[in-house]
Amino acid sequence: MFVSSHLFFLLAIMIFFSFYFVSYLVGIAHCSAVHHQLSLDFYSKSCPQLDQLVSSVTSRRFRDFPVSGPATIRLFFHDCFVEVRKDVGDNKSLAPEGFEAVDEVKALVETKCPAVVSCADILAIAARDFVHLAGGPYYQVKKGRRDSKVSLASKVKLNLPRANSTIDELLRLFTSKGLSLADLVALSGAHTIGFSHCDQFLGRLYNYKGTKKPDPFIDPRLLKALQMSCPHFGGNTDIVAPFDVQTPFLFDHMYYGNLEANMGLLASDQALFLDNRTRPLVQAFGKDKAKFFEAFSLGMEKMGAIRIKRGKKGEVRRVCSKHNKSG
């Protein structure tokens, strides 16, 4: 059942109040269809305790600030699809706790292994930790990325999935990054946790594709609950709704069952079930959590290896929000 109580949304607003958000962690992982060699033991000599250091922060932040999980995972997705994201709406809608988590890890790592571990690797490890802490799979993270030296905010819109993207658009984007149809469906399962602001799905509620009517492929109960929280005009811009209306804080495979019941939050989510090309995988993952976890882990590994920087082409930032040249 959709969670629609005033208390839930009050808490959600408080947690997700990120309207003041500005540019941050721009371009630390780098992505296109160019792949480079990474390794599990990259820091075995230079920072052997890295995973433990990251875990000490992520486990505590997950306990104290649960929203750090979905925010950090989403940040990893953005970082792997765009070389640089600078002060854009997609970043402003992220909870600050995700960025704070990476900052805190970086500060701790610098005390033990100064100028050795990139922010890109820290983000990849932290995202994995939060997936696992929320109930998802624990997968090995290959390392060896370096951080970007450039800022290319103009690439953002063309390199991120949109809330209303069609399957054709999503497949073109994922294919351009060297990812498959199976990766698209599996990685979309990250929406099993986290929330979205009303402006990302408002069109589905009131004016679907210019019809001035709601999206016909949305469960009536969900539609009513969303309309109560997200009015057509004049609503609170900080209101959010869960991607997974059944288990919003648990990393499981319920997301896919929701799509089969027409309870996907975003148009791009629901499209996965409506399209004949992706529907079989939605159904398969909805039936078999282990199969979803395996496919998701593989997709995260592939995504984390997209156009990484090595050697002099990148840097190890001292502070994740700033290029070294800026001090």
Q: What DSSP letter does each residue of 197-226 carry, written as one string?
A: EGGGTHHHHH-GGGSSS--TTS-HHHHHHH
Question: Which pLDDT belongs to residue 39?
Answer: 93
Q: What is the pLDDT of residues 53-103, one digit of tens each?
A: 999 999 999 999 999 999 999 889 877 765 544 344 455 556 778 889 999
pLDDT of residue 105: 96
Question: How does residue 8 score in pLDDT terms, banded at 50, 70 and 90?
Answer: very low
Residue 78 vs residue 224, higher pLDDT: 224
Residue 27: its pLDDT value, please? 46
Binding residues for substrate: 161
**Structure confidence at residue 269 (pLDDT):** 97
Residues 227 and 201: beta-carbon distance below 8 Å? no
Residues placed in the known binding site for Ca(2+): 79, 82, 192, 244, 247, 252
**Residue 151 pLDDT:** 56
Give 104 or 19, the one with higher predicted confidence.
104
- Classify strands 195-197 and 240-242 as parallel, antiparallel or unpaired: antiparallel
Q: Is it the case that residue 15 has pLDDT exceeding 70?
A: no
165 or 324: which leads in pLDDT: 165
Extract the annotated binding site for heme b: 191
pLDDT score of 51: 97
Q: Which of 265, 262, 274, 263 is nearest to 241 (CA)?
A: 265
Query: Residues near 280 by Cβ (< 8 Å), separated by ≥ 6?
Result: none
Q: What is the pLDDT of residue 86?
A: 36
Looking at the annotation, which residues are catalytic?
A: 78
pLDDT at residue 261, as a whole number = 97
d(CA 199, CA 112): 42
pLDDT of residue 90: 52
Give me the mean pLDDT over the 179-194 stretch. Answer: 97
**pLDDT value, residue 171:** 97
Q: What is the amino acid identity at position 10?
A: L
Structure tokens at 283: 């159904």
Ramachandran sector of residue 242 (left: φ over 0; alpha: ψ -120 to 50; beta: rest): beta
In sequence order, the 6+-apart residues with CB closer than 8 A to the CB of 106 are 117, 119, 122, 319, 320
Q: Which amino acid, 302? A: K
CATH of domain 50-158: 1.10.520.10
Q: Which of 17-31, 159-173, 290-304 is the most confident on average?
A: 290-304
Instruction: Render pLDDT for 109-157 as a digit per residue (tens, 0 to 9).
Output: 999 999 999 999 999 999 999 999 999 999 999 999 988 876 555 555 6
For the chain, give the mean pLDDT.
84
**Are the C-beta atoms of 122 and 285 separated by less than 8 Å?**
no
> Residue 169: what pLDDT?
96
Residue range 285-321, pLDDT digits in tens: 999 999 999 999 999 999 998 877 767 778 898 888 7
Lowest mean pLDDT among 21-25, 41-45, 99-103: 21-25
Tell me: pLDDT of 13 over 50: no
Domain 161-303, what fold? Peroxidase; domain 2 (1.10.420)
- List the single range of 162-171, 220-229, 315-324 with lowest mean pLDDT: 315-324
State CA 35 to chain mean position distance: 20
Q: What is the identity of the amino acid at 317?
A: R
CA triplet 159, 161, 163: central angle to 5 degrees?
A: 145
Inform me whether the pLDDT recorded for 249 exceeds 70: yes
Query: Exposed, middle or buried: residue 187 (CB in 10 Å: 0-12, 13-18, 19+)?
Result: buried
Q: What percent of the chain has pLDDT over 70?
A: 80
Beta bridge partners of 35: 306
